[in-house]
């Protein structure tokens, strides 16, 4: 059965010194936490590989991919919170994320990724709870995971 996956992030990726929590929800939920230190190291890697262009979008795409990849086999489409407004930002994120998703599910198209307000969703609530320290993450993303993915 195909699922709609809702994704939200607490603390924007470009807040490089702060931890970020990224959550996915459908019939079940999962929240990953990435430390500010891991984000800073990933940013340095992205800059060395691609220059400074779109570093926050590249890291966001990697984090979304990490949190949703277990559910790709039953993906109908992703709904990502509109934290990054504007057609150019959304198009950049979508293109970067598509490249990652297609590693596991080659048939994924741009139509499988949508941007909308997810405020009040389970993903939003869980990401905030983990970010605020009121709940434990399901996983803490290590820099080595990000490095392997970004070098991919």
Across the chain, which has 152 residues, the per-10-residue mean pLDDT values are 90 93 92 97 96 91 96 92 86 96 95 94 95 97 97 88
Question: What pLDDT score was predicted for residue 64?
Answer: 96
- The SS3 of residue 33 is strand
Question: What pLDDT score was predicted for residue 134?
Answer: 97
Name residues whose C-beta falls within 8 Å of residue 123's C-beta, 6 or more positions apart in sequence. Answer: 6, 7, 8, 23, 24, 25, 29, 81
Q: For 3-151, CATH number?
A: 3.30.420
Question: What pLDDT score was predicted for residue 28?
Answer: 86
Question: What pLDDT score was predicted for residue 86?
Answer: 83
Question: What pLDDT score was predicted for residue 152?
Answer: 85
The residue among 5, 45, 42 whose CA lies nearest residue 20 is 42
N-to-C CA span, the chain? 30
Q: Can you give the pTM of this predicted structure? A: 0.94
Domain limits of the chain?
3-151
**What's phi and psi for 19, nearest 5 deg?**
-70, 155
Neighbours of 27 (CB within 10 A): 9
Residue with the two structure tokens 């992030």: 9
Q: Give the β-pairing of 113-116 and 20-25.
A: unpaired
The residue among 35, 6, 8 whose CA lies nearest residue 20 is 35
Q: Are 133 and 10 in contact (CB under 8 A)?
A: no
How large is the angle between the packed helices 55-68 and 143-151, nearest 10 degrees? 110
Q: Where are the alpha helices (DSSP H) in 51-118?
A: 55-68, 87-104
Question: What pLDDT score was predicted for residue 48?
Answer: 96
């Amino acid at each position: 059965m195909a699922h709609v996956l809702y994704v939200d992030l607490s603390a924007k990726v470009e807040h490089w010194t702060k931890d970020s929590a990224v959550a996915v929800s459908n019939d079940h939920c999962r929240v990953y936490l990435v430390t500010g230190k891991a984000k800073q190291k990933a940013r340095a890697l992205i800059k060395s590989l691609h220059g400074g262009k779109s570093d926050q979008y590249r890291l966001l795409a990697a984090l979304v991919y990490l949190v949703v990849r277990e559910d790709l086999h039953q993906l109908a489409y992703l709904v990502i919170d509109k934290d990054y407004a504007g057609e150019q930002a959304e198009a950049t994120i979508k293109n970067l994320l598509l490249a990652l998703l297609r590693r596991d599910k080659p048939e994924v198209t741009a139509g499988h990724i949508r941007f909308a307000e997810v405020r009040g969703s389970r993903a939003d609530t869980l990401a905030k709870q983990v970010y605020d320290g009121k709940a434990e993450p399901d996983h803490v993303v290590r820099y080595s995971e990000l490095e392997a993915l970004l070098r991919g």
